[in-house]
Amino acid sequence: MLIWDNHFYTPKLGDAPNKLMAQFNTPNSQHSFENNGITFYANGQYIEPNYTLHNGGWMGTSTSYIRRPKEQVAFVGMCNSSSLDANVFTYEIPKILTKLKIWDVTDPAIF
């Protein structure tokens, strides 16, 4: 996951890596997915002003990958149980870091 996350900031994949990542991070539609017109879908991820997210679960797993592009920070949760929701943990990390004054952002909320 660290290698993949670093690729968003220093792309190396493909003949034109920067162009590929720009296209990958561009919403596929001008129609908002949810969240009052600020969340858009882009190639398996949800794009918001402060966060980019990819969440999911299948066959007894739960995963959550949240990036904060401006700070080049990512929060990843992977769980081998469908009875736990990885989002419950990863969505709290920015809030906790803000309360501890380790994370200096104006809006730690993901949703």
**Taking the model in full, what pTM does it have?**
0.81
- Residues 58, 78: Cα–Cα separation, whole Å: 12
| pLDDT at residue 35 in the model | 62
- Residues 109, 73: Cα–Cα separation, whole Å: 15
Each residue's pLDDT tens digit in the chain (111 positions)? 888 899 999 999 889 999 999 999 998 877 776 666 788 888 889 888 888 999 888 888 899 999 999 889 999 999 998 788 998 899 899 888 888 888 777 676 776
- Residues 101, 79: Cα–Cα separation, whole Å: 28
Token pair of 39 as six digits: 């969340």
| pLDDT at residue 67 in the model | 93
| pLDDT at residue 80 in the model | 92
Q: What kind and span of H or E run contains 7? A: helix 2-7
